[in-house]
Amino acid sequence: MKTRPLLPIMGVIILLISGLILIWPSLAQSNKETAPVVLDGSEIITIGSYELFPAQGRANWISSQLEEAIKLKEPTEIRIEEQNGSPTIILNDRYLLTVTEKDTTVGISPREQAQIWGEQIRQAVEKAQQERRVEFLWRASLVVLLMAILAMAIHWFLGWIWRRFQRQILKLLRRHNSNPEEPSRLLGLLLRLPLLLARSIVWVATLLYLTNLFPFSRTWSYSITEILIATFTSPIVSFGQNSYSVVNFLILIALFLALIVLTNVATEFLRNRVLRTTRLTIGTQEVIAIFSRYALLSIGTIVLLQAWGIQLSSLAILASALGVGIGFGFQNIAKDFGSGFVLLLERAIQVGDFVEVGDYMGTVERYAPRFTLIRTLDSVSIIVPNSRFLDLEVINWSHSNPISRLRIPVGVSYHANVNAVRTALLEAAKKHGDVLSHPEPVVGFTGFGDSALKFVLLVWIRDPVQHLGIKSDLYFLIEAAFKQHKIEIPFPQRDLHLRSGTLPLQVSPKLEQILSQLSQQLKNGDQL
């Protein structure tokens, strides 16, 4: 399975939706000069107005007469008579309808139209009488049961087909996507929408078929359908000289979703098939892809609104009001968006850089207009708002040069040979495979501490992401080298000096005499 067929498929979808936009107004617009005659939820004929009687009033009266004829359990009799120079349809010896020039179509006379309508009315009344018999109701109930079982089977089968198709799509994405571990929410929605749409079509079609089996449910279905059509096709918003209904807005939303999908497909194609063949850095490729995506979205939005008939000048006041609202209510969000574009333009931080911002340290995996995704050394994804990269001091270990220097401070005993310490530290650094030989490791004597001589080992590494692990390995090697050279790492030492003296305590002569007597008795061994 390949990704390239997605582009022509989405193009066909957009063409179909655009065609629906062009023909929808003619389909949704109702002619107020005509009205349908409905019997048991089925339209039989469409009539116009007659003298002082509007079309809808005539249609309602004819429908009520037909419902009365259904209740009569006798054959339906239709005949055409001339009354006042116009053909008139008589139903069971009762006046039903006068056919005028407004009721006819091109090339048909009123007499011929009356004959055609008479036959249609007779068939509709006989069908309605037959559908109210017990035998028909039993057969229809059996059909309902079978159709429900069939719909459930198709529902399960579509799920089975979709699961197999989804596995193929995910395999394809893992092979071609730049970040297969994190499928976007939009992708998950798009993978689930076809299944939801197919199952909805199955159940809606089943429900419509079953409601058309019985005359009473067919009437309810027709009434609900008429109400929904009137609700969704009635204008609710006007821009300039154009009015728009709910259906118009739904189609516009569908077009925007198609635009977003096409933009994502084009951006992924540009990122994975075009930019990867160039010698540009990953950060530069990401900047070009992001700017291309939003440029396509902006241009497509303007084209859609213009094609929809909305003049952008009429939205100037609304845009200014929204700008004020965003300025006061969404300051932080606007700040993050602005910071994101500044980062993209300056390219101080790029995808793949190892950065340290605040308390977080990790690799930049993805840019977004509002945030930057960082994966830490613990494989935890951190979503950092873009404004933090401009408000705080950011350490970019990979900026312009990925080679980084590590400082390894150590302390040794005052009895150690400093030259032996230098030799041991250099031996430990050279034993580690990730320590670069150029620039060479350096040992510095940094001073005299309270309990130890202070040294620092300076080494250079190529991958800053591994600096914690390299530090740990170097400490292990240093400890082994110190043991080999018999170099001690001292413990902190503290000296405590005690001095004797007289207490500045004065006693009375009487107390001093008592104490002297007690001391004499103790020397003589007398009991107290």
Domain ranges of the chain: 34-132, 139-233, 311-396, 404-484
pLDDT at 443 over 80: yes
pLDDT value of position 149: 93
- The first and second tokens of residue 354, run together, are 């190892």
Residues 6+ apart with CB under 8 A from 54: 35
Q: Which pLDDT score, from 0 to 100, does residue 30 have?
A: 41
Average pLDDT over residues 74-94: 84
Does the structure show a pLDDT above 70 at 31?
Answer: no
Chosen CATH of 311-396 out of 3.10.129.10, 3.90.1150.10, 2.60.40.3470, 2.30.30.60: 2.30.30.60
What is the Cα gyration radius of the chain? 45
C-alpha span between 364 and 352 (Å, rounded): 5
3-state SS, one letter per residue, for 124-138: HHHHHHHHCCHHHHH
Task: Pick left, alpha or beta for residue 411 (phi over 0 → left; psi -120 to 50 → alpha; otherwise beta).
Answer: beta
Provide the 8-state DSSP code for 86.
E
The fold for domain 404-484 equals Alpha-Beta Plaits (3.30.70)
Extended strands (E) in 7-48: 34-39, 42-48
Shortest CA distance to 219 belongs to which of 302, 304, 131? 131
Closest CA to 57 of 95, 97, 106: 97
The residue with greater pLDDT, 183 or 347, is 347
Give the position of tokens 């400490």.
475
At 332 the three-state DSSP class reads helix
Instruction: Please tell me the predicted confidence (pLDDT) of residue 146.
Output: 93
Question: Contact, 47 vs 37, CB < 8 A?
Answer: yes
Query: Average pLDDT for residues 436-455, to the nearest whole number?
Result: 88
CB 186: neighbour CB atoms within 10 A?
A: 12
**Rounded CA gap, 489 and 415, in Å?**
10
At 21 the pLDDT is: 44
Percent helix, strand, coil in the chain (nearest 5)? 55, 15, 25
Indicate if the pLDDT at residue 431 is higher than 50: yes
Would strands 42-48 and 34-39 be described as parallel, antiparallel, or unpaired?
antiparallel
Cis peptide before 439 (omega within 30 of 0): yes
Is the pLDDT at 145 greater than 70? The verdict is yes
Q: Write down the pLDDT at residue 497.
A: 60
What percentage of the chain exceeds 70 in pLDDT?
A: 79
Least-confidence region, from 52-56, 186-190, 222-226, 349-353 = 186-190
Helix ranges (H only) for 316-382 are 316-329, 331-346
- Residue 456: pLDDT band (50, 70, 90) is very high
Confidence bin at 190 (pLDDT 50/70/90): low
pLDDT score, position 366: 79
Please give the angle made by the CA atoms of 142, 145 and 148, to the nearest 5 degrees.
Answer: 145
- Other CB atoms within 10 Å distance of the CB of residue 315: 13
pLDDT of residue 316: 62
On average, the pLDDT of the chain sits at: 77
Q: Supply the pLDDT for residue 151.
A: 92
